[in-house]
Amino acid sequence: MLVLGLVALVLSMVVALPAVADFAMMLAGLGRRRPDPPRQEPQPLVFIVPAHDEEMLVQRAVRSLLAQDYPPELLTVAVIADNCSDRTAELAREAGAVVLERSSATDRGKGHAIKWALENCPSSGGPPWSSWTPTPSSIPSTAGS
């Protein structure tokens, strides 16, 4: 019986010691405050908006993107007026967008427009890019944060 008691005592100590050590480390850490992570400055952000004959939606989409909770001096909306035959480019400019007008009889469609914009849009040190279509006429103001 004595041997079983000693074996049980040794096994319980083997199991209990790591738990006691973890508990002691947790208590020691309660008094310390984690340092705040270093604050990162916001980076320039350019929304590329491919648009083909979107005069009904483009102004609302541009205004919605420009209304993001982001420093306005770092936020640009670039509308690619892709083979447009309506007033998309004019209305996008009125709403505050930088407009890139593109005409191509062979390379048509959103994919070609975005590729062309990435090759032709002036950038200041390579800002992050985000692509949106004007179809969602309103973007929540926290989308850029």
Which CATH number characterizes residue 123's domain? 3.90.550.10
**Tens digit of pLDDT for each residue in 100-134?**
898 888 888 888 888 888 787 665 455 566 656 55
Residue 120: inside a domain: yes
Range of the domain at 91: 45-131
pLDDT at 66: 92
CA 33 – CA 35 distance, rounded (Å): 6
Exposure string for 106-120, b = 16+ CB within 10 A, e = fewer: eeeeeebbbebbeee
The total domain count for the chain is 1
Task: Quote the pTM value.
Answer: 0.64
C-alpha atoms less than 13 angstroms from C-alpha of 57 in its C-beta half-sphere: 16
Cβ–Cβ under 8 Å, residues 114 and 131 = yes
The one-letter amino acid code at 122 reads P
Residue 23: inside a domain: no
Phi/psi for 43 (5° steps) reads: -100, 155
| CA proximity to 60, closest of 141, 138, 144, 142 | 138
Provide the residue-wise pLDDT of the chain in tens; the chain has 145 residues: 788 888 888 888 888 888 888 888 888 888 778 888 888 888 888 888 889 999 999 999 999 999 988 899 988 898 999 999 999 999 999 999 999 898 888 888 888 888 888 787 665 455 566 656 555 556 666 554 5
Residue 11: inside a domain: no
pLDDT at 136: 54
C-alpha atoms less than 13 angstroms from C-alpha of 36 in its C-beta half-sphere: 3
CA 100 – CA 142 distance, rounded (Å): 26
- The alpha carbon torsion through 40, 43, 47, 48 (nearest 10 deg) reads -130
Residue 74: inside a domain: yes
